[in-house]
Structures are given as structure tokens and as C-alpha cells.
């Protein structure tokens, strides 16, 4: 169910059953912005239905926090323009060539292009993998893009971090809200899940420079600023 954080900021909570991440929404005076596209058109449609029920307009833009399937495979179900950092854009173009039969998925696992957790969750979300479709980004940026929907702003910043070097956060400074995507998460694609020290330190430094009071992660409930840094500094010391 759609939840409201501030007058302008809403989110659809994550669902671990098929690794559906949190989806964010910013209501502007001129247009609205969605944060992350979801892991399937069905996931994206769930947010759109919740918005319709709440009398909120469909988003004109969708900001992608990184390339992983659970944040991008919902794009074909949206008519919003997709904004992504250039590194995310390159991975989306690469995934356009992927096939989803058992042999192709097994080869990506063998080659280290994908991991078992994602493989299993994709199979759960898509009983018919023939329905998997991808869409490239419409708007690319390097390190920062400001969207100005009216009455507020949405500042997209590439922060990288341990999870993926293309991770982007979406800061709504007027509302004191930061959408983290999975930037706060561990590296799951290079051996056992872990937090590389240097990447984690750089992420903490980047996030400390931002002015926010509430952080919304891709796979956790909203966190206060203090709780977020308490968590990150704890894993940094492990």
C-alpha cells in the first residue's frame, strides 16, 4: 500500500517475496517523478494503481538508482522517460542482448555476470520468462542531474558505493528525504556478500555531505539520518 512520508513524497514498500524494492514518488506542481521502475511491469503497475486510487498523477520521469534487474525491469510498463547515470545506461544496453532461457541464465551464473539470488528471484517474479522485456534509458547524465517538477526539486547524484559503482541517490532537499536505492547495501556480485572498506568509506563521506532527515532504502523501512549512519559505520568497522 502506498505510504506518505511528507506532503509531496510517497513510497510503495518493498516486498521480499520476489525481491521487489521500494518504489518512490515525488509530486511536483508541474509533473511528478518516480524513483526506480520496479522488477517487472506488474510491479510498476501496482504503484500506478495506488497513485490512481490516491488521486495522484502518473509520473513523467522515472529515476533509476542502478542497473540491477529489480530496479529496472519494470520500465516497459511505464510511459515515463527514464533518467539514469551513464554507467547504468551502458548496463541497460548490455542487458538488452541477454536471453532468458535456462541455458543462457546458467551461462551468466557460470561467467559471473549474474548471481544465484537474482536468478532465483527472476524465476519467481516471471513464471513465464518469455515475458521479460527491457527498455533503455531516455536521458543520461554523468554524476548529477536536477529535475525541477515545480515546488520542489529532485537531485540525482551518483554516489557509487559497495553495492554497485553506478548507484545513484535521489535527494528531495525541500522535503528532507533521500531515496537511497541499494547504495547502502553490500557487494553481492563479487564473492560472499561483503562491504569493501574503501567503497564504504567513500559512500559515507558522500552521504554526509547531503542534507536530509529521512532515508528510504530499496529493501528496508525508512531510516532516520542517525540510524543510517549508525548502520553504515557499523558495517565499515567489521
The pLDDT of residue 191 is: 86
* CA atoms of 114 and 44, how far apart (whole Å): 23
pLDDT digits (tens, 9 = 90+) for 124-138: 999 999 999 999 999
pLDDT mean over 222-231 = 96
The answer to whether 214 touches 178, Cβ cutoff 8 Å, is yes
CA angle (75 as vertex; 71, 77 as ends), nearest 5:
125
The answer to whether 21 touches 39, Cβ cutoff 8 Å, is yes
Backbone angles phi, psi at 62, to 5 degrees: -125, 125
The pLDDT of residue 124 is: 98
Question: Looking at the predicted structure, is the pLDDT value of residue 237 above 70?
Answer: no
Tally of residues, the chain: 238
Using 50, 70 and 90 to split pLDDT, how confident is the model at 190?
confident
Backbone angles phi, psi at 162, to 5 degrees: -65, -30
What's the distance, Cα to Cα, between the start and end of the chain in Å?
Answer: 36
pLDDT digits (tens, 9 = 90+) for 5-58: 999 999 999 999 999 999 999 999 999 999 999 999 999 999 999 999 999 999
The answer to whether 109 touches 147, Cβ cutoff 8 Å, is no
Question: Looking at the predicted structure, is the pLDDT value of residue 205 above 80?
Answer: yes
pLDDT mean over 200-227 = 97
Q: Across the chain, what does the average pLDDT equal?
A: 96
pLDDT digits (tens, 9 = 90+) for 61-73: 999 999 999 999 9
Q: Which residues pair with 18 in a beta bridge?
A: none
* CA atoms of 137 and 139, how far apart (whole Å): 6
Amino acid at each position: 500500500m502506498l505510504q506518505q512520508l511528507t506532503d509531496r513524497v510517497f513510497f510503495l514498500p518493498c516486498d521480499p517475496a520476489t525481491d521487489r524494492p521500494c518504489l518512490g514518488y515525488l509530486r511536483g506542481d508541474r509533473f511528478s517523478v518516480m524513483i526506480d521502475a520496479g522488477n517487472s511491469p506488474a510491479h510498476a503497475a501496482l504503484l500506478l494503481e495506488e497513485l490512481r486510487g490516491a488521486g495522484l498523477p502518473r509520473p513523467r520521469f522515472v529515476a533509476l538508482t542502478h542497473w540491477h534487474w529489480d530496479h529496472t525491469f519494470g520500465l516497459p510498463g511505464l510511459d515515463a522517460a527514464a533518467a539514469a547515470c551513464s554507467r547504468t545506461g551502458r548496463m541497460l544496453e548490455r542487458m538488452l542482448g541477454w536471453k532468458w532461457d535456462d541455458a543462457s541464465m546458467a551461462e551468466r551464473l557460470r561467467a559471473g555476470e549474474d548471481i544465484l539470488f537474482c536468478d532465483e528471484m527472476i524465476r519467481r517474479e516471471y513464471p513465464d520468462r518469455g515475458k521479460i522485456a527491457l527498455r533503455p534509458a531516455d536521458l543520461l547524465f554523468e554524476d548529477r542531474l536536477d529535475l525541477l517538477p515545480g515546488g520542489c526539486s529532485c537531485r540525482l547524484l551518483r554516489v557509487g558505493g559497495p553495492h554497485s559503482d553506478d548507484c545513484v541517490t535521489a535527494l528531495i532537499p525541500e522535503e528532507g528525504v533521500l531515496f537511497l536505492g541499494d547504495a547502502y547495501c553490500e557487494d553481492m556480485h563479487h564473492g560472499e556478500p561483503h562491504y569493501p572498506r574503501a567503497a564504504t568509506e567513500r559512500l559515507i563521506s558522500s552521504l554526509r555531505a547531503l542534507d536530509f532527515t529521512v532515508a528510504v532504502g530499496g529493501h528496508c523501512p525508512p531510516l532516520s539520518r542517525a540510524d543510517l549512519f549508525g548502520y553504515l559505520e557499523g558495517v565499515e568497522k567489521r
